[in-house]
Amino acid sequence: MGATADNGLKIVVVGGFGVGKTTLVRSVSEIRPLNTEETMTRAGETIDDISEVRGKSATTVAFDFGRITLDARNVLYLFGAPGQERFWFLWDRLFSGTLGAVVLVDTRRIDDSWYAIDRLEHHGTPFIVACNDFGGPGHTPAEIREALDLDPHVPLIDCDARSRESSKRVLITLVEHLKTVYAASAEAATPATEEVTKSPELAL
184 phi-psi bin (left φ>0, alpha ψ -120 to 50, beta other): alpha
Read off the pLDDT of residues 54-86 as tens digits, 9 standing for 90 and up: 454 454 445 688 999 888 888 889 998 885 565
The reported pTM is 0.75
Read off the pLDDT of residues 20-61 as tens digits, 9 standing for 90 and up: 998 999 999 998 876 655 454 454 454 545 555 445 445 444
Higher-confidence residue of 135 and 105: namely 105
- Across all residues in the chain, what is the average pLDDT? 79
Dihedral sign computed on CA atoms, order 93, 81, 180, 198? positive
Tell me how far apart the alpha carbons of residues 67 and 162 are, in angstroms, rounded to a whole number: 17
